[in-house]
Amino acid sequence: MKHCGFVSLIGAPNAGKSTLLNALLGTKVSIVCHKQQTTRTRVVGILTHEETQAVLVDTPGIFQNPKQRLEKSMISSAWQAVRDADLILLIVDASRVHMEEEEKKILAALKSKKKEAILVLNKVDLVPDKTKLLGKTKVFSEEATFDKVFMISAKSGQGLGELKEYIFGQMPESEWFYPADQVSDMPQRLLAEELTREVLLHEVHAEVPYGLTVRTDLWEKFENGSLKIVQTICVEREAHKPILVGKGGQKIKRIGEQARKEISRALGIKVHLMLHVKVDEKWKDRPESYQDLGLDFTS
């Protein structure tokens, strides 16, 4: 008898949802960075063991008062994943002293939607005094009722075995949605774009990362199995372009080399990558930008 279901990973920005997804899968399918709003789109990871398959959905971090269309679409995507879920994991950064305002809003929204969640305290390796974890659990339990509480470290692997076993045990009877050997449904082009954006997130600072996107202009496979990719990095402001290019083009060259290695590692083939930088002030206002990310073009 087969079992299969959807598991939504939700939480405030930087709670460690993407790191947890990658750790549960044992491979990288979701980009990771300390900057907020790293995850822009719904990322699916497929965990299969014996007769059970769990479809894990990493969602954009839920934050207060989204103003831009892109931010609203990201949060809408996260709540859509909640509506479709058989199991909801609320991921919380256990190292934060106080409950975040975003977390209070999430708990209130779950209550209004009559959705129950599992509380997952992540980053427990950053909390030397483990008694504080009990206090953290109490604070959250005063705001909502949780069927189960897990204390884990996605980075070190602590507690992941127990969490994974629990997830499998909660999946309803159903045929599988994916083949047993598939670990993600993300198209390779989107994965390559996201890996380049991950490098950019680490390389540039201030407001620049939030005003850029990566598009694929050329995807050409050669007979020897290698792949040529040409990508354009679109930025919102003219002033951002020289920041990315750097003196004599050295910065964009370094970014391209790092991205090429990441994409080659992820795809398992030799990759030739070319990057261009273009100013496109209106990319966030174009429906195709959202379609590429699997987001709704909301107002």
10-residue averages of pLDDT along the chain (299 residues): 95 91 93 77 90 92 72 79 90 89 88 90 93 90 90 96 97 96 92 94 81 94 95 93 93 96 95 96 83 70
pLDDT at residue 32, rounded to an integer:
86
- Whether residue 62 sits in one domain with residue 202: no
- Whether residue 142 sits in one domain with residue 201: no
- Whether residue 58 sits in one domain with residue 202: no
- Residue in this structure with the two tokens 């990493």, named with its chain if needed: 58
pLDDT at residue 207, rounded to an integer:
73
pLDDT at residue 299, rounded to an integer:
47
pLDDT at residue 65, rounded to an integer:
65
Cα separation, 279 vs 239, in Å, equals 9
Determine, yes or no, domain membership for 15: yes
Ramachandran angles phi, psi of 183, nearest 5° = -110, -10
- Whether residue 164 sits in one domain with residue 23: yes
- Cβ atoms of 115 and 81 within 8 Å: the answer is no
Cα separation, 177 vs 180, in Å, equals 9
Determine, yes or no, domain membership for 183: no
CB atoms within 10 A of CB 183: 17
When divided into structural domains, the chain yields a total of 2
Domain extent for 216:
188-293
pLDDT at residue 298, rounded to an integer:
62
| Domain termination residue (choose one: 118, 136, 169) | 169
CA dihedral 262, 263, 266, 267 (to 10 degrees): -150
Cα separation, 225 vs 266, in Å, equals 15
- Whether residue 161 sits in one domain with residue 199: no
